[in-house]
Structure 1
Amino acid sequence: MSFRNILVVLRAYPAGISVGAVSSAVEIAAALAPRVSAIACAVKPRVPRSILGNALLDVSAMVGEEYRKSEHDAERLLEAFEEAAKRHRVFGERILRTCRPFEVPDALAGCSRLRDLTIVPMPQGEHVSQFDAQWDVETILFQSGHPAIVVPADAIAPAAFDTVIVAWDKSRAAARAIADAMPILQTAKHVRILTVIGEKPIEAHHAGAELAHHLGFHGVDCVVDEVNADGRSIGDVLQAQVDAHDAGLLVMGAYGHSRLREFVLGGATRGMLSKPPTALFLSH
């Protein structure tokens, strides 16, 4: 099993990513697959139906200008992608879509269904931009049927994921993520299985050792780490382990509960998405 066809999501204005983030995403994708494509959505805001508002503020013209900025930025990012992908000899296609804001997540998920993996560089910026990007990732995970890699806004792409941490709690989502990430685990130099104890019940003792035994059948040598939460959140523990081992990738299952409960109550996945400590490999 391997990745053959990868999609990179390029977020354009108003919550755009940098050209550097495009290059980093392409470098990651090129290390994993021979064909890489990219999609960018030019966002077309809806014009409010207010005669008075249009008369006083010329809202239609303002909306048109915002759309032109988004379209221009989307083209700029796609050009940067094509240049980088051709340099790595993995260029597939560039896809430009015009979408209303609420149509963007579904458009991304639709394209992701026909790829093995989707890479999503996170934008820099304020809370609203981050929230929109997180919603895009959630929709891709829930609707595409494939995994995603979320890349932090300030990440510098490694040539390969040498050190990978696998978050393991014996859940279905974690098992799915590990199976989906197998091509990466098999080529990583160091794989560390992390089980956090003292935070929630784990079905059996030595859960990490059992997973290491399973991964051994796939040629993956692992180190098992059992870390006591000691009152810390799962996110804080994961952050500390990523920092301690300089991990380039964290593999974890997305959403251990229902989507609504995670949205309302938060959780390890949402915490990681809000501030990724490193590149995140997520599956649902």
Structure 2
Amino acid sequence: MNTTTPSPSPSTASPQAPTCLPAVGDVLAIVAGPRDGAAYVASRLAGREGGSVTGCATSPAFLGGRAFRADATVAALLEVAPSAQRREDLHIGGAGDAFVRLAISAGARGPQWAVMGNDTAHTLAMLSAWHDLIVVQRPTDPHADPLDGLGILLMGTGLPCLVLPAICAPSGVFDRVVLAWDGSRPAIRAIRAALPLVAAAQDVLLLDGCAPRDGNADAPGFEPMAFLARQGIEATRRRVHASPAEAGATILKKAHQFKADLLVMGAYGHTPLREKLFGGATRHVLTHGDIATLLYH
């Protein structure tokens, strides 16, 4: 897959001063347009310590779940081939050119542009192999069902996914972070993946809904508070009690009470591809959440 980048003008190619924020790595922005909130946030995150960013253009139908309907398959046959669309986008004034210029101005190095065609699985597999984080913004269409598109990103790439709310003030820094902890492997992976974002926060709250560990377990368990302390991160632990059916609503309620601008949690789901069955908490947060959420399956 060719992701050729046009040469930026000298005025936009000036090197960016390094930041003191923890490096995030190489970031993949899934965007419907070159100036989406996801494009800016991904570029700012990648700009920490010289990371790269790739913008991957997709249709609003993908993120809104409409790309999986039968009529969408017919419409897809009429679309311009991704390679031709990419070449057109990278011309001066095109969507790819606009993304590259925005990314450079935000501090990212070597920004690139890709176009997602009909074979989304192949495109995402190739891109996710060399990126560390996905950033995507929820669709603004109130009738959209984002679970299908987000499900592919979460479960088909193996990468943590930062999901921005439909309406947000794009920023590469989150000041108040809530970590949802239930002792599961997805929760562990989510907390570890979010470390560069958590380390830059001013206030961190751990919502602990984990059952007490068996003292006779044959292997040590992950202790989130100890892990955060080793990274020099001060956090507050707060116990929460909720049934599985109420977990998602409880997490969002506590996050709002804390005035969080980022929620970190594990994601649950099962295949088949078009019928992702998210766990109750994940589904509730993806459906009703209005704050940025980092999820890891």
Give the TM bin, normalised by the shorter chain.
0.7 to 0.9
CA distance in 2, matches of 1:89, 1:218: 25
- 1:166: how far off? 0.4
Distance 1:152 1:250 in 2: 11
How many angstroms does 1:189 deviate by?
Answer: 1.5
In the TM superposition, what is the alpha-carbon distance from 1:150 to its structure 2 partner?
0.8
Aligned 8 A contact 1:108 1:136 in 2: no
Could you say which residue in structure 1 is the equivalent of 2:102? Answer: 84
- SS of residue paired to 2:139: coil
Q: Give the conservation status (yes or no) of the 8 Å contact 1:25–1:121.
A: no
Q: Which residue of 1 aligns with 2:126?
A: 110
1:273 is aligned to 2:286: yes
Q: Is the 8 A contact 2:29 2:38 kept in 1?
A: no
List aligned pairs for 1:53-202, cutoff 5 A: 64=78, 75=89, 77-97=95-115, 99-100=117-118, 103-127=119-143, 129-131=144-146, 134-196=147-209, 202=211
> How far apart are 1:117 and its partner, in Å?
0.8
What is residue 18 of structure 2 aligned with on the other side? none
| Partner AA of 1:97 in structure 2 | V
TM-score scaled by structure 1? 0.73
Matches of residues 170-249 of structure 1 in structure 2 within 5 Å? Answer: 170-196=183-209, 202-204=211-213, 210-229=223-242, 233-249=246-262
**Quick one: which amino acid aligns to residue 198 of structure 2?**
L
Q: Distance in 1 between matches of 2:98 and 2:212?
A: 47
Sort the Cα spacing of 1:282 and 1:98 in 2 relative to 1 into closer, same or farther, 3 A: closer
Runs of 5+ consecutive residues of structure 1 not aligned to the other structure: 49-58
Note the C-alpha offset of 1:80: 3.6
Distance 1:264 1:140, change over 3 A: closer
The yes-or-no answer on 1:252 pairing with 2:240 is no
- Kept after mapping to 1: 8 A contact 2:244/2:281: no
Specify the code of the residue in structure 2 equivalent to 1:160. V
Change (3 A) 1:258 1:32: farther
Tell me, yes or no, if the aligned pair for 2:270 and 2:277 is still in contact at 8 Å: no
Q: Does 1:26 align with 2:35?
A: no
Normalized per residue, which structure has more strand?
1
Amino acid corresponding to residue 39 of structure 2 in structure 1: V
3-state SS of paired residue (1:99): coil
Alignment deviations for residues 121-151 of structure 1 (CA, whole Å, 9 cap, x no partner): 1221144x433xx323322322322211111
Structure 1 contact 162–190 (Cα < 8 Å) conserved: yes
Instruction: Please tell me the residue identity of whatever aligns with 1:130.
Output: D
User: Which structure carries more helix by proportion?
Assistant: 1
Alignment match, 2:57: 40
- Counterpart-to-counterpart distance in 2, 1:236 and 1:278: 13
In the alignment of these two chains, the number of paired residues is: 249
Q: Deviations over 1:126-181 (max 9, x none)?
A: 44x433xx323322322322211111111212341111110000111101111111
**Structure 2 equivalent of residue 11 of structure 1:** 32
Gap regions ≥5 residues in structure 2 = 1-21, 62-66, 215-221
What root-mean-square deviation, in Å, do the aligned CA atoms of Structure 1 and Structure 2 show?
3.6
Would you say the 8 A contact 1:177–1:253 is kept in 2?
A: yes
Distance 1:24 1:181 in 2: 15
> Residues 37 and 91 of structure 1 are in contact (CA less than 8 Å); yes or no, is this contact kept in structure 2?
no
Closer/same/farther in 2, CA of residues 85 and 163 from structure 1, 3 Å limit: same
8 Å contact kept, 1:21–1:153:
no
